[in-house]
Amino acid sequence: MAPYIRRERRGSVAVVVVDNPPVNALSREVLEQLAAAVEEAAADGLITAVVLTGAGKSFIAGADISMFPRLAAGEMPPVPFQDYMNRIELCPKPVIAAIGGAALGGGLETAMACHYRIASAGAQLGQPEVKLGLIPGAGGTQRLPRLAGVEKAMEMCAFGETVGSQAAAELGLVDRVASGDVVEAAVEFARGAPPVRRTRDMREKLCDAESAESLAEVFRQMARRRMPHQKAPEAAIEAVLAAARGSFEEGLAAEARLFAACLNGEQSRALIHVFFAERAAAKIPGLRAPAQPDEVRRAAVVGAGTMGSGIAMCFADAGIDVWLSDASREGLERGLAGVRRQYEAAVRKGKLSGEEADRRLKRIRSADGMEGVAQADAVVEAVFEDPGVKREVFRMIGAAAPPAALLASNTSTLDIDMIAAATNRPEFVLGLHFFSPAPVMRLVEVVRGRATSDGAIAAAMALAKRLRKIPVAAGNCFGFIGNRMFLPYRTQAVSIAEQGGEPDRIDAALTSWGWAMGPLAVGDLIGHDVWLMIRREALRRGAGHIPVSAFEDELPRLGRLGQKNGFGWYRYDENRRGHPDEELIRLLREYAAARGIEQREWTAEQIRERTLLALVNEGARILDEGMALRAADIDVVFVHGFGFPAWRGGPMHWAEQAGKAKLLERLEALYDEEGPFWKPAAWWRR
| Residue 78: cis peptide before it, omega within 30 degrees of 0 | no
Indicate the pLDDT class of residue 454, thresholds 50, 70 and 90.
very high
Asked if residue 593 is part of any domain, the answer here is yes
Q: What integer is the mean pLDDT of 542-551? A: 80
Q: Is the pLDDT of residue 545 over 90?
A: no
Task: Please give the Cα distance from 222 to 224 (Å, whole number).
Answer: 5
416 in a structural domain: yes
Averaged pLDDT for residues 542-559: 86
Q: What is the per-residue pLDDT for 1?
A: 58
Axis-axis angle for helices 28-43, 81-89 (nearest 10): 20
Question: Which tens digits make up the pLDDT trace of 78-127?
Answer: 999 999 999 999 999 999 999 999 999 999 999 999 999 999 999 999 99
As for how many domains the chain has, the answer is 3
Same-domain check for residues 584 and 492: yes
Could you tell me the CA-to-CA distances from 657 to 208, 450, 481, 621, 653 in Å, in that order?
A: 43, 35, 21, 19, 6
Whether residues 465 and 509 fall in one domain:
no
Domain match, 469 and 515 both = no
pLDDT digits (tens, 9 = 90+) for 387-414: 999 999 999 999 999 999 999 999 999 9
551: in domain: yes
- Residue 549: the pLDDT is 82
Rounded mean pLDDT, 648-663:
97
Assess contact for 363 and 321: CB atoms under 8 A: yes
Give me the torsion for CA of 516, 521, 525, 527, rounded to 10°.
Answer: 150
Euclidean distance between CA atoms 513 and 518, whole angstroms = 10
User: Around 387, how many Cα atoms within 13 Å sit in the side-chain half-sphere?
Assistant: 14
State the CATH number of the domain containing residue 678: 1.10.1040.50
The pLDDT score that the predictor gives to residue 235 is 98
What is the pTM assigned to this prediction?
Answer: 0.94
Tell me the mean pLDDT in the region 253-265.
98
- Kindly state whether residue 36 falls inside one of the protein's structural domains: yes
Q: Give the model's confidence band at 236: pLDDT under 50 very low, under 70 low, under 90 confident, else very high.
A: very high
Q: How many residues does the chain have?
A: 686
pLDDT of residue 290: 76
| Mean of pLDDT over the chain | 96
Q: Tell me, what's the pLDDT at 497? A: 98
Work out the percent of the chain whose per-residue pLDDT is above 90. 94
Q: 397-426: b or e for each residue (b if 16 or more CB lie within 10 Å)?
A: bbebbeeebbbbbbbbbbbbeebbbbbebb
Is residue 141's pLDDT more than 80? yes
DSSP-derived secondary structure for 251-275: HHHHHHHHHHHHHTSHHHHHHHHHH
457 and 487 both lie in a single domain? no
Could you give the CA distance from residue 151 to residue 161 in angstroms, rounded to a whole number? 14
**Torsion-angle region of 603 (φ positive above 0: left; ψ -120 to 50: alpha; else: beta):** beta
pLDDT confidence of residue 239:
98
Query: Residue 544: what pLDDT?
Result: 62
Given pLDDT bands bounded at 50, 70 and 90, which one contains residue 541?
Answer: confident
The pLDDT-based confidence of 548 (bands split at 50, 70, 90) is: confident
How confident is the model at residue 536, as a pLDDT?
86
Rg for the chain (alpha carbons), in Å?
28
Name the nearest CA neighbour of 411 among 385, 392, 388: 385
- Among residues 555, 576, 553, 581, which one has the least CA distance to residue 566? 576
**281 domain-assigned:** no
From residue 74, alpha-carbon distances to 70, 79, 264, 647 in Å are 6, 11, 10, 21
**Residue 400 to residues 62, 113, 315, 459, 464, Cα–Cα distance (Å):** 48, 61, 20, 20, 23
| Residue 259 and residue 307 in one domain | no
Query: Considering Cα of 519, then 578, then 645, then 313, what sign does the dihedral take?
Result: positive
Residue 650 lies in a domain: yes
Q: 425 with 518, same domain?
A: no
Rounded to whole angstroms, the Cα distance separating 41 from 479 reads 61
| Catalytic residue annotation | 109, 129
Average pLDDT rounded to a whole number, residues 499-515:
97
In a domain, 313, yes or no: yes
Q: Compute the average pLDDT of residues 148-152.
A: 98
Residue 289 domain-assigned (yes or no):
no
Q: What is the pLDDT of residue 294?
A: 83
More confident call, 294 vs 431: 431
Higher pLDDT, 328 or 546: 328
- Rounded distance between C-alpha atoms, residue 616 and residue 663, angstroms: 10
Which range marks the domain in which residue 468 is found? 298-475
Grouping H, G, I as helix, E, B as strand and the rest as coil, residue 469 is coil
